[in-house]
Structure 1
Amino acid sequence: MISLIQRFDDELKVALKASNKIKVSVLRMAKAAVKNKQIEKGGELTEDEVVAVLSSMVKQRRESVEQFAKAQRADLAAKEEEEIAILQTYLPQQLSHQELDRIILDALRESGAKNVQDIGKVMRILMPRIKGAADGKYVNQRVRELIESS
């Protein structure tokens, strides 16, 4: 299987030849973020660590979209949305709401969670199972809703 870093390099070459400025920009930012994480770690990153860096980049851009929307800057929000779309092509397929709810309910049964104070137990079981396939903030919100409704 080709590594994500190799995919960045290959697709960066293609984007440069096609003069796709936004994709070139996003891929360069992603490569720089991965390189910074490698320097911070002091060694090569695993695929999971690269996915975590990309997920963080997507999360930052989603927060930017919210801020731009509040400031009524649709042009900047649209640019961030475009960058999110490009980054998501390198991330694992996101879980559907139904799949996520099923996994959460399994974790709730497994942990024996009865109230909101047990969210930490549930999240410890849950996050390794869905790593990279769902936003942690959304997962936490759904766990809270499902605990409160049961």
Structure 2
Amino acid sequence: MSLKARITDDMKDAMRAKDKDRLTAIRLILAAVKQREVDERIELDDTQVIAVMDKMVKQRRESITQYEAAGRSDLAGKEAAELSIIQSYMPSALSTEELDTVITAAIAASGATSVRDMGKVMAAVKGQAQGRADMAQVSALIKSRLGG
């Protein structure tokens, strides 16, 4: 079963259970996926759905930070609840060791020697780490490895 189909089934289950918070978060996911499908006139596969959800996770984390800074713990709590539901559909996170291995392999495969080659390394790592690691953290790790 595709990820999109699983999310749709979970939406139906949430409707039956009258779980409003979960239903709202799932509808947000499906709306974002549908929007991208309509914009690009394509059917998204699991990898692309994960990329959409990864963007949503990043947005939720930024919102939580801003709401907490503004003293709006009620809104931060709502975003955190949505974040946990979205993350439940994401693949398991890469451990530090696994991420280190992926970065090392990408640097070796691309022949990167300096920070100027960072784009090549990021492109190689992104395919394996998208949705499984914070890409800002990955970028910082690659930069430090390349002497930046």
Give TM-score scaled by structure 1 length.
Answer: 0.88
Equivalent residue number for residue 75 of structure 2: 76
Aligned equivalents of 1:36 and 1:121: distance in 2?
29
Aligned equivalents of 1:117 and 1:43: distance in 2?
34
Residue segments in structure 2 that go unaligned for 5+ positions in a row: none
User: Residue 129 of structure 2 aligns to which amino acid in structure 1?
Assistant: I
Say which is worse superposed, 55-64 or 139-148, in terms of deviation: 139-148
Residues 1-150 of structure 1: pairs in structure 2 closer than 5 A? 2-148=1-147
Per-residue CA deviation, residues 76-118 of structure 1 (Å, 9 max, x unaligned), is 1122111111011111111112211221122223333333222
Aligned equivalents of 2:69 and 2:60: distance in 1?
14
User: Residue 9 of structure 1 aligns to which amino acid in structure 2?
Assistant: T
Aligned equivalents of 2:105 and 2:79: distance in 1?
35
Alpha carbons of structure 1 residues 9 and 110: separation in structure 2 relative to 1, 3 Å: closer
Shift of 1:61: 0.6
Aligned equivalents of 2:137 and 2:117: distance in 1?
17
Paired residues in the alignment total 148
Higher normalized contact order (CA 8 Å, seq sep 6+, divided by chain length): 2
Shift of 1:125: 2.3
Shift of 1:26: 0.5
Give TM-score scaled by structure 2 length.
Answer: 0.89
CA RMSD of aligned residues (A): 1.8
- Where 2:112 maps in the other structure, the secondary structure is coil
Aligned equivalents of 2:106 and 2:2: distance in 1?
31
Aligned equivalents of 1:143 and 1:127: distance in 2?
12
Shift of 1:8: 1.9
Aligned equivalents of 1:108 and 1:3: distance in 2?
32
Aligned equivalents of 1:109 and 1:3: distance in 2?
33
